[in-house]
Amino acid sequence: MKTKARSNIIFIVTVVLIALFSFIGAKGVVIGGYRVKSFEQLITKGLDLQGGVSVLLEIIDKEVKPEELERTKELLNLRVNKIGVSETVVTTEGNRRIRIDIPGMYDSQGIVDALSKTGKLTFKDPEGKEVLTGSDITKAATQFNEYNQPVIGLEMSEEGRKKFADATTKFVGQKISIFMDEDLLTDPVVEGPITQGKAVITGNRSVEEAKRIAGIINAGALPLEVKAASVRTVGPQLGANAFPNAVKAGMIGVLVVFIFMIAYYRLPGLLADIALTLYIILVLLAFSYIGVTLTLPGIAGFLLTIGMAVDANVLIFERIKEELRTGKSIRSSVDSGFDRALSSILDSNITTIIAGVVLYFLGSGAVKGFALTLIIGIVLSMFTAIIVTKFLVHTALNMGIMSKPELFGVKRG
């Protein structure tokens, strides 16, 4: 009786928590003055869902090193942030191209003109006078000091060494600020004269920040000319219509799946639907945490993974039904069903994950988004099918509500 009572409590708490998280994810909530945003507000939507401009820039130089491509990407990312847009996605494509997706902006020519400039890196003294330019810096790299804190190491040309020696001697205890165009990158304090042509910038909050600033400094020292390879504008009306239509189609699809599982598998189908609800919550949480930009192909990949999750449950329940038809007890049939279905679930999902990885690394743009949502969805679908569904079924067995084969859709003579 203790086991049954404990199982009842566990099952009720599990269902209530999943329902609560579903409501919060769908609507958002305010708790003690703190606002928990809904998934719609947390997840970044792509251009095809909200409209905007997609610019594909190509570096004119034929031979481009990977580090030069990354530096140029950082420079363009800084420039596009200067334009004042949010949720901008900057990615590299191939060896010479950089794609910039700017939601909510529609002046494509103005954006191309702003992005195509090479940019100017300057070091300014406290009086605002220029003391160094990007051409005086030969190298910037992320390093760690004796306290294991991230710093930026600078190496200068011979001319830059002389300029910097004069400036740091004159402005000890004051700031020398580093700008990309008019944007302040960092403003370290001069601790003493620097006369050897090598300097260290401290005060970086993280390794990522140090890498970003070092990349921009390098990009300013080695500006690469770019041109627009393609410009695509998605109208606001088209984007505004696409998202609600995609959500509506997804909700209808999920509802049909839920009804089918209950109609065909009875009580186990209901438990599978509860696990699928948790699966959807986990996937959307993963999307918001990782920063996935959701596009129409991404939504298609997400819905496809729901089908994969259902498929895993179908394999499990069919195995259980086969075991029940042989005359085994319900508990024994459940254990055997999960064990026998495991290899089939792993085989089918792992091969799909491999295909998704190939698509992600070889594809570009929307293909990458589809592949990423597919991979995340499949990994979580295996977790919910193998772990969560099994937990719910065993809990129901302990509660005593799954004591008849008929509840699995099996009739014994």
Residues 6 or more apart whose CB falls under 8 angstroms from that of 260 comprise 269
Going 380 to 386 to 387 to 392, the CA torsion angle's sign is positive
348 φ, ψ (degrees, to nearest 5): -70, -40
253 φ, ψ (degrees, to nearest 5): -60, -45
What's the pLDDT at 282? 92
* Domain 2-42+235-408, CATH homologous superfamily name and number: Multidrug efflux transporter AcrB transmembrane domain (1.20.1640.10)
What's the pLDDT at 87? 59
pLDDT tens for each residue of 208-261: 788 777 877 776 554 567 788 888 877 666 666 777 887 888 888 889 889 988
142, 152 in Cβ contact below 8 A? yes
The CATH number of domain 52-234, selected from 3.30.1360.200, 3.40.50.300, 3.90.550.10, 3.10.450.50: 3.30.1360.200
Q: What pTM was computed for the model?
A: 0.66
What's the pLDDT at 222? 47
Could you give the CA distance from residue 119 to residue 109 in angstroms, rounded to a whole number?
A: 18
What's the pLDDT at 274? 93
Q: Which residues of the chain have pLDDT under 50?
A: 83-85, 222
What's the pLDDT at 412? 62
What are the residue ranges spanned by the domains of the chain?
Answer: 2-42+235-408, 52-234
What's the pLDDT at 106? 64
Instruction: Report the DSSP pairing between strands 89-93 and 44-45.
Output: unpaired
368, 355 in Cβ contact below 8 A? no
What's the pLDDT at 118? 58
104 φ, ψ (degrees, to nearest 5): 80, 0
What's the pLDDT at 249? 82
What's the pLDDT at 18? 92
What's the pLDDT at 84? 47
Question: What tokens appear for 321 in the block?
Answer: 């039904």
Cα pseudo-dihedral 306, 308, 313, 317, rounded to 10: 140
